[in-house]
């Protein structure tokens, strides 16, 4: 196991870079995971930073403010144009609503003429979401306004507020089977797909680099001259690469489980995802080794990891949901193993537990295994060719 | 002599093909992939007209089903099987297609993946099962059904109140005197009144939404961060600059250090060509982004200034890393790649909600993040009519440039070698 140990020693020699990359990736997963987990156990990423300035301070306006802040992060701002603009440009504020002093009075006269000052960041989607939310709310109150001939009696407000709360409360039932199971397996599927990006970057930056150091003519010739068989050396190199990748993967998996709960280990869908991710790990390691033979420049391994990692992640739907991805590009990305693993994660996210097609997931895993086999085969062919050339 | 060194450094840089590959081809490829991948963000709803949400509606009570279908008809159309006709006849406002059917058929449709979900028209509405329902579609379905539920609940609440008010009036007249015919007439009137009330909807943003100019698609938000990342990408060029002038970092550095030229002069002779080349590369990428049709705003001069400052801060960050730390070269290269990646992530390049999270928990980081500063600067140029805040971002960048330059000079001067 001389070569195996030497490979680990090289990794150890470059442990600074390995630790740095692992820490960065852990940070990325932790922040993204924390955002998912912060949403009361629901699988959502839509919390917005909202500021509401209430100039009226009535029961009605206070309830309106409470409604707007529900499920969002409250930002306190004074009614100062410059300070508000600073908050928007600091990116610490997504949406602002200024409730005027005559809010209730104008609403009673003509709700459509309400001078509700709103402002949003550049993202149109945030503005549209809040505009719909405000319109829905005011439409409900408008029914009460009409009922009381444009003048809601003050003693009725408290009762109406509790009724509006009831009306606005989510009431659509989702199949009972889903109710019993928490959505943790969906969160898990989301985070485990993020691991793929980390693995690709680390694969090239750490494994690829160390592998190319081991393959440098000086070290390779020294070992071959000392009588170490080429076949055994190759086997140990491959084994060491897979072992290190496996350890990194275990670490990342542990983090994913910390964020989403260890009960995922008992859910069949999550178990399948873990196996799928493991198969992806094998395929990606094989891809890294293949690319290292194709383009054996050790100084470029970090660049390569960065480029391949970002490109694959943007095209397979790791960073951006597949609903918005260019479908042609998505199809093209199916030549990478990551596409198939992310497909499994999406399949779990978009299906009820009892509707998950494990056959489909298995099929995707087989595709990844086949890809891994092809990459390994091609790597051996390249090695043999280079051996014949005497490189 | 200095001019000769400058010329020599330009040539050396271009002779190294890896430099061109990673510092120009990579950003070019990255922006292309980024643009192609996010193409649909220009109009996220357009995707629904091609592939609408499909649901099967089942009901035990026919009235419930009719009410739900009537409500959903505002957002979509009936029929889930006419796929081929859909693309020709549907408008962009079609978000969903629905089919009123029985339980058995609904199950079959779901199994065949003809529909995404089975909805039971009941009180309340229930999503009985779903299949291949993406997060966006699931959120859309939920929104439609919750809206329907809120209309129903409002109708009931208002109806109850209406009846209470009427009956309280009737009590004063003496309800016992009311004939059954009168009572039915009142109830019928009440029903019509409630219906009339629901027809009066308000939309306080109707005028604004037609004239909104400053809001835009999330594509631009991603692009601000992506182009800022590209501007800050050549951190590695700074690291390699130091490698070539410092004796203990490379053979070339060793050779250069024995020449009778001061270290500072040598540094600038190697630094300036790289800085110029990378500024040009960044501007070419900016031009390419414009050619792709992504409009980052009309303040071209200011955008160019911002990008050049971003690139300058990147190269100088690299030189500071190279001058201050005695790590091995591979670790320095790793750091020079990792830093833009972390800054890019914090600026929202991979997840557009990240700047808000950073602003909430570690606000100081946003002020130190050059990619965030460039990205925010682009955002300000796009939407802020004054240049006050933009100028502030320029000052921040100049501050970073000044600090990294001082650190570089300090790092260069303190090195002394007893033996190499």
**Higher per-residue pLDDT: B382 or A299:** B382
Which of chain A's residues have a Cβ under 8 Å away from the Cβ of B146?
170-172
For residue B92, is pLDDT > 60?
A: no
Query: Residues, chain B, total?
Result: 420
Please report whether residue A347 resides in a domain. yes
Residues B226 and B334 grouped into a single domain = yes
Q: How far apart are CA B125 and CA B151, in angstroms?
A: 12
pLDDT tens for each residue of chain A, 391 residues long: 788 888 888 888 877 777 887 788 778 777 777 766 555 444 444 578 899 999 999 999 999 999 999 888 899 999 888 888 888 887 788 899 999 999 988 888 888 888 888 888 766 777 888 888 898 889 888 888 888 888 888 888 888 899 989 888 888 877 755 554 567 788 888 889 888 988 998 898 888 988 888 888 888 888 888 888 888 888 999 999 999 999 999 998 998 888 888 988 999 999 999 999 999 999 999 999 999 988 888 777 878 888 899 899 999 999 888 887 888 888 999 999 999 999 999 999 888 888 889 999 999 999 999 999 999 999 999 988 887 776 5
Residues A286 and A226 grouped into a single domain = yes
Q: Give Cβ neighbours of residue A76 (< 8 Å, ≥ 6 apart).
A: A51
Q: What is the pLDDT of residues A114-163, one digit of tens each?
A: 888 888 876 677 788 888 889 888 988 888 888 888 888 888 888 889 99
H-assigned helices in B174-200: 180-199
Please report whether residue A44 resides in a domain. no
Residue A124 has its nearest CB partner, among B217, B329, B337, at B217
pLDDT value, residue B166 = 65
Q: What is the ipTM of this complex?
A: 0.81
Mean pLDDT for the stretch of residues B148-154: 87
Q: How far apart are CA B247 and CA A101, in angstroms?
A: 71
pLDDT value, residue B213 = 42
Name the phi and psi angles at A99, rounded to 5: -85, 120
Q: Is the dihedral of CA B242, B243, B248, B251 positive or negative?
A: negative
CA distances from B53 to A173, B56, B135 (A): 18, 10, 12
Which of B180, B211, B242 is the last residue in one of the domains?
A: B211
For residue B185, is pLDDT > 70?
A: no
Calculate ∠ Cα B344-A17-B241, nearest 5°.
70
Please report whether residue A288 resides in a domain. yes
Residues B191 and B275 grouped into a single domain = no
C-alpha B56: how far from chain center: 33
Tell me whether B131 touches chain A (CB under 8 Å): yes
Residues B388 and B272 grouped into a single domain = yes
Residues B33 and B68 grouped into a single domain = no
Residues A25 and A98 grouped into a single domain = no
Q: Provide the CB-side half-sphere exposure for A190 (13 A, CA).
A: 27
Residues B329 and B205 grouped into a single domain = no
Name the phi and psi angles at A97, rounded to 5: -130, 125
Q: What's the mean per-residue pLDDT of chain B?
A: 81
Q: Is the dihedral of CA A57, A58, A60, A62 positive or negative?
A: positive
Which of B194, B211, B228 is the last residue in one of the domains?
A: B211
pLDDT value, residue B412 = 83
pLDDT value, residue A180 = 47
Q: How far apart are CA A351 and CA B113, in angstroms?
A: 12
Residue B351 has its nearest CB partner, among A166, A175, A319, at A319
User: CA of A378 to nearest chain B CA: how many angstroms apart?
Assistant: 25
Range of the domain at B122: 46-211
Residues A304 and A229 grouped into a single domain = yes
Q: Which of residues 124-163 of A touch B (CB under 8 A)?
A: 124-125, 127, 131, 134-136, 138-140, 142-144, 146-147, 163
Which of chain A's residues have a Cβ under 8 Å away from the Cβ of B18?
297, 299-300
C-alpha A205: how far from chain center: 21
Percent of chain B at pLDDT exceeding 70: 80
Contact A25, A198 (CB under 8 A): yes
Residues B205 and B221 grouped into a single domain = no
Residues A161 and A285 grouped into a single domain = no
**Higher per-residue pLDDT: B290 or A170:** B290
Q: How far apart are CA B58 and CA B106, in angstroms?
A: 7
Residues A255 and A320 grouped into a single domain = yes
Peptide bond into B124 cis (omega under 30): yes
Contact B281, B299 (CB under 8 A): no
Contact B253, B247 (CB under 8 A): yes
The residue in chain B having the minimum alpha-carbon distance to the alpha carbon of residue A194 is: B350
Which of chain A's residues have a Cβ under 8 Å away from the Cβ of B203?
112, 135
Please report whether residue B352 resides in a domain. yes
Mean pLDDT for the stretch of residues B115-132: 87
C-alpha B323: how far from chain center: 36
Residues A124 and A191 grouped into a single domain = no
Token digits of residue A253 = 């998996």
Residues B153 and B248 grouped into a single domain = no
- Over its C-alpha atoms, chain A yields an Rg (Å, rounded) of 28
**pLDDT band at residue B73 under the 50/70/90 scheme:** confident
pLDDT value, residue B162 = 76
Q: How far apart are CA A114 and CA B207, in angstroms?
A: 12
CATH code for the domain of A92: 3.40.190
The residue in chain A having the minimum alpha-carbon distance to the alpha carbon of residue B53 is: A323
Tell me whether A117 touches chain B (CB under 8 Å): no
Tell me whether B58 touches chain A (CB under 8 Å): no
pLDDT value, residue A390 = 67
For residue B43, is pLDDT > 80?
A: no
Tell me whether B26 touches chain A (CB under 8 Å): yes
pLDDT value, residue B72 = 87
Which residue out of A203, A206, A310 would a mutagenesis test of the B interface target, given it has the greatest number of B Cβ atoms within 10 Å? A310
Whether residue A123 and residue B351 make contact (CB cut-off 8 A), yes or no, is no
pLDDT value, residue B172 = 55
Residues B121 and B257 grouped into a single domain = no
Which of A178, A211, A241 is the last residue in one of the domains?
A: A178
Residues A193 and A339 grouped into a single domain = yes
Tell me whether A194 touches chain B (CB under 8 Å): no
pLDDT value, residue B320 = 93
Whether residue B334 and residue A306 make contact (CB cut-off 8 A), yes or no, is no
Residues A295 and A150 grouped into a single domain = no
Whether residue A123 and residue B221 make contact (CB cut-off 8 A), yes or no, is yes
Whether residue A172 and residue B149 make contact (CB cut-off 8 A), yes or no, is yes
C-alpha A382: how far from chain center: 36
Neighbours of B83 (CB within 10 A): 12
Residues A263 and A119 grouped into a single domain = no
**pLDDT band at residue B93 under the 50/70/90 scheme:** low
Residues A60 and A97 grouped into a single domain = yes
Which of A154, A178, A202 is the last residue in one of the domains?
A: A178
Q: Provide the CB-side half-sphere exposure for A287 (13 A, CA).
A: 25
Which residue out of B338, B349, B365 would a mutagenesis test of the A interface target, given it has the greatest number of A Cβ atoms within 10 Å? B338
DSSP secondary structure of B30-49:
HHHHHHHHTGGGGSTTHHHH
Q: How far apart are CA B322 and CA B270, in angstroms?
A: 14
Please report whether residue A173 resides in a domain. yes
**pLDDT band at residue B207 under the 50/70/90 scheme:** low
Q: Provide the CB-side half-sphere exposure for A298 (13 A, CA).
A: 15
Token digits of residue A3 = 């070569």
pLDDT value, residue B298 = 87
For residue B330, is pLDDT > 80?
A: no
Residues B319 and B288 grouped into a single domain = yes
**pLDDT band at residue B11 under the 50/70/90 scheme:** confident
pLDDT value, residue A185 = 84
Q: Which of residues 308-327 of A touch B (CB under 8 A)?
A: 310-311, 313-315, 319-326
Contact B72, B144 (CB under 8 A): yes
Token digits of residue B248 = 């203990």
Tell me whether B137 touches chain A (CB under 8 Å): yes
Residues B146 and B272 grouped into a single domain = no
- A297: phi > 0 → left, psi -120 to 50 → alpha, else beta; which? beta
Residues A239 and A312 grouped into a single domain = yes
Which residue out of B117, B128, B165, B337 would a mutagenesis test of the A interface target, given it has the greatest number of A Cβ atoms within 10 Å? B337
For residue B88, is pLDDT > 50?
A: no
Contact A43, A183 (CB under 8 A): yes
Q: Which of residues 52-71 of A touch B (CB under 8 A)?
A: none
Number of compact structural domains in chain B: 2
Number of compact structural domains in chain A: 2
- B344: phi > 0 → left, psi -120 to 50 → alpha, else beta; which? alpha
Q: How far apart are CA A42 and CA A63, in angstroms?
A: 24
Q: Is the dihedral of CA B220, B221, B226, B229 positive or negative?
A: positive
Which of chain A's residues have a Cβ under 8 Å away from the Cβ of B325?
none
**pLDDT band at residue B75 under the 50/70/90 scheme:** confident
Please report whether residue B266 resides in a domain. yes
**pLDDT band at residue B316 under the 50/70/90 scheme:** very high
pLDDT value, residue B155 = 84
Calculate ∠ Cα A243-A248-A250, nearest 5°.
90
Which of chain A's residues have a Cβ under 8 Å away from the Cβ of B144?
none
pLDDT value, residue B46 = 57
The CA-based diameter of chain A, rounded to the nearest angstrom, is 99
CA distances from B150 to A13, A69, A111, A268, B64 (A): 63, 19, 19, 36, 14
Where do we find the tokens 């969002």?
A72
Please report whether residue B419 resides in a domain. no
Please report whether residue B296 resides in a domain. yes
| pTM over cut 0.90 | no
pLDDT value, residue A182 = 62
Which residues are paired to A53 by β-bridges? A98
Whether residue A85 and residue B384 make contact (CB cut-off 8 A), yes or no, is yes
Burial of A288 (0-12, 13-18, 19+ CB in 10 A): buried
CA distances from B216 to B39, B44, B213 (A): 14, 12, 8
Token digits of residue A255 = 């983090």
Peptide bond into A310 cis (omega under 30): no
Residues B32 and B163 grouped into a single domain = no
Contact B305, B381 (CB under 8 A): no
Neighbours of A158 (CB within 10 A): 11
Residues B271 and B377 grouped into a single domain = yes
Residues A141 and A227 grouped into a single domain = no
Range of the domain at A146: 49-178
Which of A178, A199, A226 is the last residue in one of the domains?
A: A178
Which of B170, B189, B211 is the last residue in one of the domains?
A: B211
User: CA of A309 to nearest chain B CA: how many angstroms apart?
Assistant: 11
Whether residue B383 and residue A127 make contact (CB cut-off 8 A), yes or no, is no
């Amino acid at each position: 196991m001389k070569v195996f140990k030497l490979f680990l020693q090289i990794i150890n020699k470059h442990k600074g870079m390995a630790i740095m990359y692992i820490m960065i990736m852990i940070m990325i997963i932790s922040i993204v995971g924390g955002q998912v987990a912060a949403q009361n156990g629901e699988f959502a990423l839509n919390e917005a930073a909202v500021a509401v300035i209430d100039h009226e301070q009535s029961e009605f306006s206070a309830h309106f403010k409470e409604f707007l802040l529900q499920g969002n992060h409250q930002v306190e701002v004074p009614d100062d144009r410059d300070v508000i603009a600073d908050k928007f440009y600091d990116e610490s504020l997504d949406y602002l609503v200024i409730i005027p002093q005559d809010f209730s009075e104008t609403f009673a006269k003509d709700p459509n003429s309400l001078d509700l000052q709103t402002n949003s960041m550049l993202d149109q989607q945030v503005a549209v979401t809040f505009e719909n939310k405000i319109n829905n709310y005011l439409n409900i109150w408008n029914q009460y306004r009409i009922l009381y001939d444009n003048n809601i009696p003050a003693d009725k407000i408290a009762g109406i507020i509790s009724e509006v709360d009831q009306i606005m409360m989510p009431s659509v039932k989702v199949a009972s089977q889903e109710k019993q199971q928490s959505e943790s397996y969906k969160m898990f599927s989301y985070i485990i797909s993020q691991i793929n990006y980390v693995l690709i970057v680390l694969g090239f930056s750490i494994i690829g680099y160390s592998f190319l150091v081991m393959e440098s003519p000086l070290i390779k010739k020294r070992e071959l001259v000392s009588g170490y068989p080429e076949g055994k050396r190759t086997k140990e190199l491959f084994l060491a690469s897979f072992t290190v990748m496996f350890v990194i993967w275990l670490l990342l998996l542990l983090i994913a489980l910390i964020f989403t709960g260890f009960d995922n280990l008992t859910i069949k869908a999550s178990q399948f995802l873990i196996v799928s991710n493991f198969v992806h790990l094998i395929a990606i390691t094989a891809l890294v080794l293949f690319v290292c033979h194709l383009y054996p420049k050790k100084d470029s391994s970090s660049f390569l990891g960065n480029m391949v990692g970002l490109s694959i992640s943007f095209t397979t739907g790791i960073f951006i949901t597949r609903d918005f991805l260019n479908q042609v590009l998505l199809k093209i990305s199916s030549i990478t193993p990551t596409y198939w693993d992310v497909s499994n994660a999406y399949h779990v996210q978009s299906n009820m537990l009892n509707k998950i097609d494990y056959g489909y997931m298995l099929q995707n895993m087989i595709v990844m295994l086949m890809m891994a086999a092809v990459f390994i085969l091609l790597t051996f062919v390249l090695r043999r060719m280079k051996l014949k050339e005497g490189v | 002599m200095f001019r000769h060194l400058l010329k020599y450094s330009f040539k050396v840089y271009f002779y190294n093909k890896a430099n061109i590959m990673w510092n120009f081809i990579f950003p070019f490829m990255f922006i292309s992939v980024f643009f192609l991948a996010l193409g649909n963000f220009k109009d996220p709803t357009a995707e629904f007209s091609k592939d609408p949400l499909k649901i099967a509606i089942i009901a035990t009570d026919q009235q419930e089903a009719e009410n739900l279908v009537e409500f959903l008809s505002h957002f979509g159309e009936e029929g889930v099987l006419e796929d081929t006709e859909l693309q020709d006849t549907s408008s962009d406002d079609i978000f969903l297609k629905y089919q009123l059917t029985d339980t058995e058929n609904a199950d079959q449709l779901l199994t065949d993946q003809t529909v995404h979900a089975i909805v039971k028209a009941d009180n309340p509405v229930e999503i009985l099962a779903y299949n291949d329902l993406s997060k966006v579609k699931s959120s859309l379905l939920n929104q439609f059904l919750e809206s329907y539920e809120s209309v129903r609940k409002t109708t009931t609440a208002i109806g109850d109140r209406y009846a209470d008010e009427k009956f309280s009036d009737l009590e004063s007249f003496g309800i016992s005197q009311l004939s059954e015919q009168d009572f039915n007439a009142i109830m019928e009137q009440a029903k019509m009144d409630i219906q009339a009330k629901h027809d009066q909807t308000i939309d306080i943003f109707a005028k604004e939404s037609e004239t909104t100019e400053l809001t835009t698609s999330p594509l631009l938000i991603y692009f601000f961060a992506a182009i800022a990342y590209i501007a800050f990408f050549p951190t590695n060029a700074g690291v390699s600059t130091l490698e070539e002038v410092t004796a203990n970092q490379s053979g070339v550095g060793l050779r250069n250090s024995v020449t009778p030229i001061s270290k500072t002069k040598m540094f600038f002779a190697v630094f300036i060509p790289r800085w110029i080349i990378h500024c040009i590369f960044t501007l070419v990428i900016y031009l390419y982004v414009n050619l792709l049709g992504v409009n980052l705003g009309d303040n071209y001069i200011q955008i160019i200034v911002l990008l050049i400052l971003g690139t300058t801060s990147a190269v100088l960050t690299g030189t500071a890393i190279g001058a201050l730390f005695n790590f091995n070269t591979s670790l320095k290269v790793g750091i020079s790649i990792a830093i833009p990646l972390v800054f890019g992530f914090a600026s929202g390049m991979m997840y557009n909600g990240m700047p808000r999270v950073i602003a909430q928990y570690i606000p100081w980081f946003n002020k130190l993040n050059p990619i965030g500063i460039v990205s925010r600067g682009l955002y300000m140029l796009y939407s802020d009519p004054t240049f006050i805040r933009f100028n502030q971002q320029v000052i921040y960048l100049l501050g970073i440039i000044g600090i990294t330059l001082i650190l570089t000079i300090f790092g260069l001067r303190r090195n002394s070698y007893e033996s190499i």
